[in-house]
Amino acid sequence: MNRTGLVSKFAETVGIEKASAIVDDAMADLGISGDTEIDDTDAQDICDIIQHNNEGYVALVASELRVQLAAQERFDALLGNIPNPAVVVEFEQREPYVKSINEAFADTFGYDQTDAVGTELRTLLAPPGADSEVIRTDWWEQTGQSEQEVRRTTASGEIRTYLFRSTIVTRDSSQLEGYGIYTDITERKRREQQLKHQNERLDEFVSIVSHDLRNPLNVASGRTHLLLGDIEDAAVREGLQEVAAAHERMARILDDTLTLARQGRVVGETTSVSIEAVAGDAWQQVETGDATLTIETDATIEADAERLQQLFENLYRNAIEHAGAECTVVVSAPETHENGFSIADDGPGISPDDRELVFEHGYSTNSDGTGFGLSIVQSIAEAHGWSVAVSESERGGARFDVRW
């Protein structure tokens, strides 16, 4: 704020002549000549002198103005230290004009304060053909803070993508100012585009696997079962039964592979779900034989209920496959204050050397297993932001600890 600005503030209360005299007297007390350029720190000192030399409204205005100048000084310091390009604008007929920029803005876009200040922001940085209207509508049609993706030309002439966060504040009871920060998200957008292309190729792969492999497998399996119904030779029947078993295992591998390919490490909408309810529902979907289930927790968690049930189903199948059809499976809460749950059985357990390997795709100690069940478990856990680890249960079996 310069001398003219100070005088105008006090003139609102005491008139232009008296305001000029008050400001000039305070400047003289501080040894500041009338033609000297003053900064905000000088202006605060001038207001401090005026407050002490006057009473009533003049002192009150001086006090309030000093507080405003101190706040503006702190804000300017903060703006200057923001690592992202930042801009302050004023509005003329709802059009944003640059009032101030930080050093990061100047370095990134190649404009110094002299070039930028007073320029209409909508056209300052927008590349040819870009929708410069977005900033104006974003500021005026949203309430509170808002953000938009915009494409802007940098100092090197490169067009990059930024997330522009903006807000409007009211200063001095009537004057509107806008604040905006540009965060470069160009690399993130490129990665998103690459991921989109990868997902499209993955969808194509899934379609091929699902259709072109499953159809001939179904034909082979169907023909095998027809032959089993017609052939009485024991040796031939035994061979066909092995073929049928191989077809069934191939079908399970196909199903598990498609599950991993389609769902990967992504979950849908999460809600508050009961571990007891989901664990019980999952038990009903698995061929459990004479195995028994005990649930020792009534906790609720934020999860995708369908994916969580799939996690339980795979751990149940793993327990029955390795611990036997008469095993006992226990779902419990951690004994410590950790967040999570555990699924334990009373089978032979998993040796320490194999505990890291069991989550790898295709790893299985059972010749009939697909080797994908525990890999799916880990994918579901990590998609929720959880971890899963293997240890030994109290009864010597395997225990899978899910934590977050």
Distance CA 389, CA 189 (A): 34
> 400 has which bridge partners?
343, 390
Distance CA 293, CA 217 (A): 35
| Total-model pTM | 0.48
Residue 135 makes CB contacts below 8 A (sequence gap 6+) with 96, 121, 122, 148, 150, 164, 166, 180
The predicted pLDDT at position 152 comes to 84
Say whether pLDDT at 76 is over 60. Answer: yes
> 387 has which bridge partners?
403
Residue closest to 386 by CA, chosen among 371, 366, 403, 365: 403
Say whether pLDDT at 242 is over 80. Answer: yes
Q: Poorest-confidence range of 142-146, 295-299, 331-335, 387-391?
A: 142-146
The predicted pLDDT at position 274 comes to 95
Q: At 126, is the pLDDT very low, low, confident or very high (cuts 50, 70, 90)?
A: low
Model confidence over 298-353: pLDDT tens digits? 999 999 898 899 899 989 988 998 888 889 999 999 877 789 999 999 999 998 98
Residue closest to 98 by CA, chosen among 135, 43, 142, 144: 135
Residue closest to 380 by CA, chosen among 276, 278, 254: 278
Q: At what angle do helices 40-53 and 56-81 cross, to 10 degrees?
A: 160
Distance CA 132, CA 206 (A): 41
Q: Poorest-confidence range of 46-50, 137-141, 196-200, 339-343?
A: 137-141
Top pLDDT among 85 and 249 is at 85
Say whether pLDDT at 393 is over 80. Answer: yes
Continuous H helices in 82-213:
103-109, 113-116, 121-124, 133-141, 186-208
Q: At 199, is the pLDDT very low, low, confident or very high (cuts 50, 70, 90)?
A: confident
Residue 185 makes CB contacts below 8 A (sequence gap 6+) with 149, 161, 162, 163
What's the mean pLDDT when you consider all of the chain? Answer: 83
Contact present, 324 and 290 (Cβ < 8 Å) = no
Total Cβ atoms within 10 A of residue 56:
9
The predicted pLDDT at position 346 comes to 93
Residue closest to 296 by CA, chosen among 282, 283, 313, 279: 279
Top pLDDT among 265 and 106 is at 106
The predicted pLDDT at position 112 comes to 84
Distance CA 111, CA 151 (A): 17
Q: What are residue 218's phi and psi, to 5 degrees? A: -65, -40
Model confidence over 264-304: pLDDT tens digits? 556 778 999 999 999 999 999 888 889 999 999 999 999 98
Q: At 137, is the pLDDT very low, low, confident or very high (cuts 50, 70, 90)?
A: low
Say whether pLDDT at 210 is over 90. Answer: no
Say whether pLDDT at 173 is over 60. Answer: no
Q: At 392, is the pLDDT very low, low, confident or very high (cuts 50, 70, 90)?
A: very high
The predicted pLDDT at position 300 comes to 93
Q: At what angle do helices 234-263 and 186-208 cross, to 10 degrees?
A: 160
Distance CA 102, CA 301 (A): 45
Say whether pLDDT at 109 is over 70. Answer: yes
Which amino acid would we find at residue 8? S
Contact present, 237 and 181 (Cβ < 8 Å) = no
Contact present, 84 and 69 (Cβ < 8 Å) = no
The predicted pLDDT at position 390 comes to 93
